[in-house]
Structure 1
Amino acid sequence: MEELAKQLNNVKFEKNIVCGSNPLAAKIVEKNKSRGTPVSISTNLRRIDIEKNQPIYKYAVQVLFFYNKGDKEESVEISKSVSKGPEHERDKAKCSKVYKKSVSQSPELQKGGPFFYDRQSCLYSFSRLKNDEIMCSLKGAEISSRPSFIRAEFKLSKVKESFQSTSNDISKTVNIRPAQADKTILEALNLIISGKPLEDPNVLTIGNCVHYLYDDSKIQMDRVNGSGGKSSAVGTSKSIRTLEGKEKTPTLYMTTELKTTLFHPDNATLFQVLSDYSGFSPQMKCNNPWALSMKDFFLGVSCYVNYGKFKDLGDERVMIKIKGFGLSAREQTFECDKKETTVFKYFKEKYNMSLQYPDLFTVLARGRDDKNQNIPVECLVLCNSQPVRTEQMSKDEQAKLIRLAAAKPHERKRNTDKVVTEVGLGANVQGLIRVSQPETVTGYVLPKPTIKFGGEKKVNWNDPNKRGPATDFNITRFSKPAKLLSWEIVFDQNVPLDSAIGPLINTMKEMGMEVRDPQKTFIVGGKLRPIFENAVKNKRQMLLFITKSSNNYHQEMKCLEQEFDLITQDIRFETALRLPQQQNTRKNIINKINIKLGGLNYEIDNEDLKNRLVIGFETSQKGGLGDAPIAIGFSANMSAHHMQFTGGYIFVKRTSDVYGSIVQTVVKICMDEVIKNRGKPSSILVYFSGVTEGQYGLINEVYVQQIKEACLSIHANCKPHIHVIAASKIHNTRLYKEDQRGFSNLEPGTVVDETIVNPLLNEWYTTSAVARQGTNKAVKYTLIFTTQPVPISVWERLTNDLAYDHQIVYHPVSLPAPLYIAGSYSTRGAQVLAQRRAIYNAEGEFDFEATNEKFGVLNKKLFSTRFNA
């Protein structure tokens, strides 16, 4: 394990990998489907029909603004804006203004079309222009009121590639080789369908595909109002995709998903916003606890500068982003004209402004030469139409928004359809494009798996006395009980709870475990380390903590668990008080303990799993640019029993390709373990979670090769069958069970693999978990690669069966066990790293080897257990 951990430090990150030339696993068409109970399913997808032989022409747009700069002219292109947030939306608004003015001056743009402009660098037309290039020069305050503004230029020209596509090109938008798919018509239709909302003054469009209503009174939804004038708005996202369709030929569909988002107040002064928060005062310092706690709510908020020569220019005012809080205007000094002055004096002398709140902290923003500048709070006004990012919300605001979004199925469907109508996405376009009502498809409810437990017993799904929802089951004895012979129960100092010990031990014995009485120990002075040191000396198997929630030892306990390589279990004192009366709570705790000690609570009867290694990759954190470390979790059935899933986490750089650096290493680790415990598998199935369709080529051509190399590194003849499946909740498809009673959540085990899936690939949606509240979201699965083509029903059944293998809760979870467990490992790794901090080398770079060696689990006994159960 140590040698494998060291290999991580030598991983080379491939940049700009271009993939998609190799074919993905082709769809296998099944006949005589009889694998489950059919059910009618309503969706949020609408079929898009376009007239046959309808051409669509693509033109490039360039918008330039020219300004006086001293004795020369300077041009700025805003049609390829690289700005983000409100600044980007402002650039698009400028482009739209220039385009509309150009249309009024160009007879050709008045006669042709209809035209659809994306407010940046692209315009589509249903007719070809007589001239391949149009130029307009525009002047006047209606374009820009800036004193230095000279003119704007609008240039329209036909693009060099993909100039013309037609409605007959729909089949070209999908290809078993992803790189060869021509998405031109999809890009065009995404804009064309948004034509009406883009022109509607009651609709706020973010990007080109998310539309919010200013006036949503017709929707009759509740609103969330937060501190600082925040308020929610309802809207819909939209995407155009090519799917299988009813006729089993590539068909266009529009997906619309309900969006409920919190927005900052429009055109509010920053001082007003701050004043709305309890505890604010005009003399607040930047190091005040209130300011320190509130800073995150304002980081990244865009504001207009409300002073200087541009203060009366409306949307053309200077825009800044808040980077933090600084010293007050009276305290903050800087050099101006080679003399030191304060912000307070500078504003008085430069702008003849006597600041009202000179003792209030200032706002830090990026100035010239990337140096911070300090701006008085009273001189800033929030930019309009700013969505509130999650990190800018309080926990209460996040909770309220989640509750608002967690609508019941019939409510979500009704509101989605209403918003689509109000926004204008459900309307036909120019008589050439027709938008249908939401599609209805047939799904299948798969049979529940056979579940065996101790005493050769099986779960009786038809038992009228079974507890909970229809998917819940109960077991009376573990399939493989563990032994707990040396353990300690840890209490707070002078706060024992002997009444909890007996019921726990009795329940362990009832479930078949061999248990000896524990030793009791107490936390002294809040110090946990001595507890672990003594436990290791005494060769304890486990530490069971029963402590008051107010002490909050959990995070530190789990970090010490990793450091000392010793299993722990945490029970809140308040919960333990009720253990004698609550059998289900006791069983839940014992379920965890048995699994952590290497036992098996029950097993799923699935022959396809017996000689197959199943690996899941998951991360609870987003990828992206930068090299800040994140934790990738993985889990596999590499233990002695094929239904036991264990694993761990590995720290990697935060990149857009989150898994690429560790695939080969992890597969090699899992192969070594399964060979040691059960022998060489005949097949490997790997699930990758959270990947997008754009990464299918990467998985197929890079990850698959790494899996093969991991096998060959074991032995030249180690060539098991390989199957790779991508799992994703990063989609906007919503599915609703439809019957005579209306719309409801799908039953667990419902699959959809026709009409609304990829026309060329083995793709399906599965809903595994019970929705306790709101509307459940199906997981989309796509078979990316296989060396042994089999009907898609094999993968559907296996994936559904694995959703029942959580072992702790007796009902299916939202993902198959290897992915669900890998996700919990990823979360644990992130928690350990947050508590202990990553290690960097002398050059300031993240040190893979040192961080994984010190804070990882690959070289520990924990790795062979399900320590995070």
Structure 2
Amino acid sequence: MSYQVAPKLTKAAGNHMQLTSNHFLLKFKHKEVYRYDVSMTHHLLTKDGEKTRDMCKGARDDAAILERQRRCLALMNAAYDVAVFAAEHTAFIYDNSKTLFSSAKLNEHLCAQIKLEGKQLPQRFKTHSRLSKGFYIVNISPVSTNHKFFIDDLKNAIETDDPLGQDHTLRQFYEILTNQDAINMNSYMIFYGNLYDNTDGKIGLKKKLREARNLISGISKGARIVEGTKGSLVAALVLDSKKSTFFDDSNPNNLVGNVQDLLNLAPNRPGNKERLNDRDRLAILKYLKDLRVYHLKHPDNDFVISTVSREPLSELTFEIGSRRISVLDYHKQSGVRILYPNWPAVVVQGPRGPSYFPIEVLGVCRGQRVPISKQTPQQMAATINDCACRPHVRYREILKNLEGLKLAPSCRNAYLASFGVTVDATPMKVTGHRRAAPRIIYGYNNATQYNDVKGNWMGGQYIHPAKIPKWYMVYDGIDGGAVRQFVKILSDAMKRKGMTVGTPDCQQLSVAQLDSFMGGISKSMKEKKMPSAFLLFADRSDDSHSLLKMYEAKHQVLTQHLKAQTVLDCLEPRKKLTVENICNKINCKNFGLNYAVQPGDHAKNLYLGKGDVMVVGYDVSHPEPQPPHERRLGIAPSTPSVVGFSFNGAQHPDAFIGDYEFCEPRQERVDILEERIKWMLSVYEKNRKSLPARIVIVRDGVSEGQLSMVLNHEFDAIKNGAEAYKKGYKPKFLLVTTTKRHQKRFFAETQNGVDNPMPLTVVDETVVRADLTEFFMQAHKAIKGTAKMPCYTVLYNELQMNMDEIQSFLMSLCFEHQIVNSPISIPEPVYQADEWAKRGHDNVLAFFRSMESLKNPDGTPLLKKFMIQVEGAGDCEPAMQYDWRRISKMMGYRGKNLESTRANA
């Protein structure tokens, strides 16, 4: 079913302030531009006939994308040399893929079917072992719709019956135009809207990090059409400083040097007798898997690493014809000097089986970002620290990249000049306003005062203190005396907050012993009919957290994990805040509530305490794409997408609870919502003895292009599920999306220079969409770095709320976190949904790790019992897949003891 997008609301009232955005106004002449589709194919004659390859498509890893861009640009330039398909002064811009814009109409007869072969090929193709063969066809043809348009026709670009179905041609033109100098000069590595310095630090930062990684700076860029001032539409370029971690591709010792850096080995250390232990091999595997490398003697030969061998290189053999030969001897015969025969070999899984390469013969292809899954928590923390910069530094970096892209008026940019476009050097000013903070109510109806400068408040006794009948203090690798001292400090703090707790059962156990121990607790709970039990576990391991949480889901025993250092820190008198935060978590986990939130006057009608409003947040966490060799071999993906849910369905209206569910990998659209909303309503009704008359849905993490999916598919499922829950039940809905995945920034210019806006600041004019309700809202105070205001979009407003009411209500949800005495950056149900999705992801990984070595009596993997047949599986597609519904039921919280409490606090 299709829904009409909610009408745009007028801006809210408030105390106004002047802010500086990162939007740079685009100015242009009244000029017509032409748009063309581009296709490029490589044709090879083989003994089996002609083979055709699309040069604009291919592998999706970073290095492959950059190389494909370079090849497409080279082919386009060669095609123009062969068939001069444009008049003398015609300018054209090309995205190095499938789209080209020109300042005048091209000669369509000349630019159709341009054939390139032999001497006509780009120079770098002529010396390439594969690209030099056969011929190429370049076809440039007018697009079927919107072939020509005026670059200043902003009104036509956004006027449509469906604001969610806009034609983005004009915005695409602005984005490619402002990239073009960087494309031709190769000064930036371009990954869609993210551009990174490709000049080894001449434009931006390139910092060498530990463990064979580099931090490279750049810019996140996009074009928007916004409402402007006085109702006049304007186009703007949005620029935000960006930093990412890359694999080191410039080590003088190539891949060997990377491995040495990774393992902290001396570069000149002899390796003939050095054999790596299992921990080092796993570190190498994690670093190298899915990395694109090239052969040092044959740079044209690049490939993605599938894995590394379990055995050292010196023990590997393979068959050539009818004889077996040592991998070591084979490469020595090829003139390779093997310095590390006891290191594992790089393995590439091809259609004919594995190929083995010594690490010594390989180099790292340029421009590969390090995915989050390959970074340790310590590396992530260090990277976040490196990326966080104060507002004045970020502002300066944005202006520096404006010049680096040759977009500032002081720079000569032939492409901008040819199309009659200029970019303002001064970012757009906007008017923001501040909302009033909601009231925070603690026990005995004591209201606490929000500190407007510090952005926090003083805590008090809990409004709903937990009663913990039985709890356990389990520890490993910590002195028992220190643990008992910690327990005394923590118990006293919990009692001061009003909680009812007894003396814990203290035991020293390793994480490996927790499964059976928690199983015993669960059994005892059932026998004694105890509603819950709580286990606090402290140790020094980096790997125990995911196992502990998997055991929690399995046995339905509440757990909290502390690092050993945190326990020791709490023994110091000055660490009272740390102890309080631990208490806050324990109370929330054990069916308690720390405080209640009363929104500002504008949202009094939607006060959660009234008990007739259910707020639902949900988010999707995706795994990384499955490696190509696994897809080629028909291996079923072992990591699902995870949908996290959160809603205020506990006994207290302010308490948010939730769960997660596993889905097919990389599936953005959520198809389980109809079933899940029924579960939420059943829990709500069980705990409150009534059903909500109003339901607020907050969807996190969707892009502009996915808004239609959210409204017309996901929301439709939620609405249908709610109305089908009980005959005659028809709640009213408000649907809002929120995301921090955008490029927009706002700065306050103070007497001391550029700074962050104050907490509770809202921007709802000038740089927002003109065709629907959009605003930016900062509830929190940025502790470090530059604040980012989440973007909110109102898609469905059956509650007929105005802008003030919506902003005030969503602001109050940012105060519902309960763990710290300050607001968070996004509404609590969205935050918790994201945390539930992460919890599900970690739990399923822990589940697979715990099961991978277990076998059935017949010797088959025990995991096979969790697989089902795939109907209609094609060639190279898995015949079996994991039964994610069954695994969700086994590992989730729905319908179990802990479904009505915030287990993930």
The equivalent residue for 1:39 is 17
Equivalent pairs, count: 828
**Counterpart amino acid of 2:716?**
Q
2:405 equivalent among 400, 423, 437? 423
**1:846 maps to what in 2?**
882
Quote the residue 1:238 is aligned against. Answer: 221
- 2:896 matches 1:860: yes
- Measured after TM superposition, the shift of residue 499 of structure 1 is 4.0
- Write out per-residue CA displacement over residues 31-65 of structure 1, whole angstroms, 9 at most, x where no aligned residue: xx43x32222212221222222x111122334344
Alpha-carbon contact 2:495-2:501 (below 8 Å) kept = no
Query: Whole-Å Cα distance in 2 between the matches of residues 845 and 783 of structure 1?
Result: 38
Question: More deviation in 265-274 or 411-420?
Answer: 265-274
**Contact 1:23/1:176 (<8 A) preserved:** no
Q: Aligned pair 1:559/2:546, yes or no?
A: no
Q: Counterparts of 2:705 and 2:92 in 1: how far apart (Å)?
A: 29
Q: Distance in 2 between matches of 1:676 and 1:225?
A: 53
Distance in 1, matches of 2:189 and 2:562, equals 48
Paired residue type of 1:666: R
Does the alignment pair 1:473 with 2:463?
Answer: no
Alignment partner for residue 198 of structure 1, among 166, 177, 183? Answer: 183
* Residues in 2 aligned to 1:518 and 1:267: alpha-carbon distance in whole angstroms: 57
Structure 1 residue runs without a partner (length 5+):
1-18, 464-468
CA 1:110–1:65: 2 relative to 1, 3 Å: farther
- Sort the Cα spacing of 1:345 and 1:507 in 2 relative to 1 into closer, same or farther, 3 A: closer
Shift of 1:236: 1.2
Between 76-85 and 298-307, the greater mean CA deviation after superposition:
76-85
Query: 1:378-393 to 2 correspondence within 5 Å?
Result: 378-393=360-375
Query: Could you list the per-position Cα deviations for residues 411-455 of structure 1 after superposition, in whole angstroms to 9, with x for gaps in the alignment?
Result: 011112112212223456116112122112111111111122222
Alignment partners' CA distance in 2, 1:499 and 1:81 = 60
Q: Which position in structure 2 is the counterpart of 1:27?
A: 8
Point out the more displaced range, 85-94 or 189-198.
85-94
Q: Quote the Cα distance in structure 1 between the aligned partners of 2:375 and 2:472.
A: 41
Mapping for residues 743-762 of structure 1, pairs under 5 Å: 743-762=754-773
Q: Residues 70 and 595 (structure 1 numbering): CA distance in 2 closer, same or farther, change over 3 Å?
A: closer
2:584 is aligned with 1:591: yes
Matches within 5 A, 1:701-850: 701-837=712-848, 840-841=866-867, 843=869, 844-850=880-886
**1:466 corresponds to which residue?**
none
For residues 615 and 91 of structure 1, the distance between their equivalents in structure 2, rounded to whole angstroms, comes to 43
Larger deviation: 844-853 or 758-767? 844-853
Deviation sequence 1:614-673 (CA, Å, 0-9, x none): 011134555867573243221111223321212222222223325x12211221112122
Partner of 1:401: 383
CA change 1:713–1:330 in 2 (3 A) is same
2:348 matches 1:365: yes
Residue-by-residue CA offset, 1:575-607 (whole Å, 9 max, x unaligned): 456458354344333323332332322211133
Contact preservation (8 Å) 2:35, 2:102: yes
Q: What is the distance in 2 between the residues matched to 1:544 and 1:366? A: 45
2:388 corresponds to which letter in structure 1?
A
For residues 294-316 of structure 1, give each alpha carbon's deviation from its aligned partner in whole angstroms, at most 9, with x where no partner exists. 12112222222344xxx3xx6xx
Distance of aligned partners of 1:117 and 1:834 in 2 relative to their CA distance in 1, 3 Å threshold: closer
One of 602, 612, 623 as aligned partner of 2:595: 602
Alignment check: 8 A CA contact 1:494 1:522 kept: no
Indicate yes or no: 2:499 matched with 1:510. no
Q: Deviations over 1:64-90 (max 9, x none)?
A: 445564697765442445564323332
CA distance in 1, matches of 2:668, 2:479: 51
Give the letter aligned to residue 166 of structure 1. F
| Aligned equivalents of 1:248, 1:320: Cα separation in 2 | 53
Report the TM-score when normalising by structure 2: 0.84
SS at match of 1:223: strand
Classify 1:25/1:371 alpha carbon distance in 2 versus 1 (closer, same or farther; 3 Å). farther
Instruction: Return the match for 1:452 from 431, 441, 463.
Output: 441
Runs of 4+ aligned structure 1 residues displaced above 6 Å come to 70-73
Instruction: Please state if 1:665 is matched with 2:642.
Output: no
For the 8 Å contact 1:213–1:234, the answer to whether it is kept is: no
Q: Does 1:156 pair with 2:140? A: yes
Using the alignment, how far apart are the partners of 2:590 and 2:64 within structure 1? 55
Q: Which of 432, 441, 454 lines up with 2:430 in the alignment?
A: 441
Q: Is the 8 A contact 1:41 1:737 kept in 2?
A: yes
* CA drift at 1:613: 0.7
Which one of 288, 295, 302 corresponds to residue 298 of structure 1?
Answer: 288
Aligned residue number for residue 633 of structure 2: none
Do the aligned residues in 1 keep the contact of 2:188 with 2:195 (CA within 8 Å)? Answer: no
Q: Supply the distance in 1 between the matched residues of 2:710 and 2:615 (Cα, whole angstroms).
A: 16
CA deviation string 1:729-788 (max 9, x = no partner):
111112222233321122221111111212111111111222111112111111122223
Q: In 2, distance between residues paired with 1:231 and 1:531?
A: 43
> In the alignment, which residue of structure 2 is the partner of 1:5?
none
For residues 222 and 590 of structure 2, the distance between their equivalents in structure 1, rounded to whole angstroms, comes to 47
SS state at 2:428 partner: strand
Q: Which amino acid aligns with 2:256?
A: F
| TM-score w.r.t. length of structure 1 | 0.87
Q: Which amino acid aligns with 1:663?
A: L
Q: Aligned ranges for residues 126-525 of structure 1 at < 5 Å? A: 126-134=103-111, 135=114, 137-140=116-119, 142=123, 143-146=125-128, 149=133, 151-174=135-158, 175=160, 177-178=162-163, 180-207=165-192, 210-217=195-202, 223-228=207-212, 230-263=213-246, 264-266=248-250, 269-277=254-262, 278-279=264-265, 281-282=271-272, 288-307=278-297, 311=298, 317-326=300-309, 330-347=314-331, 360-367=343-350, 369=351, 371-393=353-375, 397-427=379-409, 429-430=416-417, 432-436=420-424, 437-461=426-450, 470-490=454-474, 495=480, 497-513=483-499, 515=500, 517-523=502-508
Deviation digits for residues 201-252 of structure 1 (CA, Å, limit 9, x no counterpart): 4444345752424153465x57233344x43332212211222222434432
Structure 2 CA distance, aligned partners of 1:329 and 1:726?
Answer: 53
Check whether the contact 2:25–2:237 (CA below 8 A) recurs between aligned residues: yes
CA-CA distance at 1:547 after TM superposition: 4.1
Distance (whole Å) between structure 2 residues aligned to residue 288 and residue 509 of structure 1:
47
Q: Secondary structure in 2 aligned to 1:120?
A: coil
More displaced, 806-815 or 130-139? 130-139
Cα pair distance change 1:144/1:38, threshold 3 Å: same
Distance (whole Å) between structure 2 residues aligned to residue 188 and residue 525 of structure 1 = 59
- For the 8 Å contact 2:274–2:340, the answer to whether it is kept is no
Q: CA offset at residue 384 of structure 1?
A: 2.9
Per-residue CA deviations over 1:802-833 (Å, capped at 9, x if unaligned) read: 11111221110121111122222223333332
Q: After superposing the two structures, state which structure 1 stretch, 355-364 or 684-693, moved more.
A: 355-364
* Greater shift in the superposed pair: 736-745 or 176-185: 176-185
The one-letter code matched in structure 1 to 2:145 is: E
- Whether 2:36 is the aligned partner of 1:50: answer no
Identity percentage over the alignment?
A: 23
Q: How does 1:633-672 map to 2 (within 5 A)?
A: 633-657=644-668, 660-672=670-682
Query: How far apart in 1 are the matches of 2:702 and 2:357?
Result: 42
Closer/same/farther in 2, CA of residues 202 and 543 from structure 1, 3 Å limit: closer
Distance between the aligned counterparts of 1:619 and 1:842, measured in 2? 23
The answer as to whether partners of 2:736 and 2:796 remain within 8 angstroms in 1 is: yes
CA distance in structure 2 between the aligned counterparts of 1:302 and 1:284, rounded to whole angstroms: 26
1:523–1:531 Cα contact (<8 Å) kept: no
**Structure 1 residues 599 and 383 mapped into 2: Cα distance closer, same or farther (>3 Å)?**
closer
Contact 1:204–1:214, Cα closer than 8 Å, also in 2: no
- Whether the 8 Å CA contact 1:757–1:764 is kept in 2: the answer is yes
Instruction: Tell me the C-alpha RMSD between the 2 structures.
Output: 3.3
Change (3 A) 1:806 1:120: closer
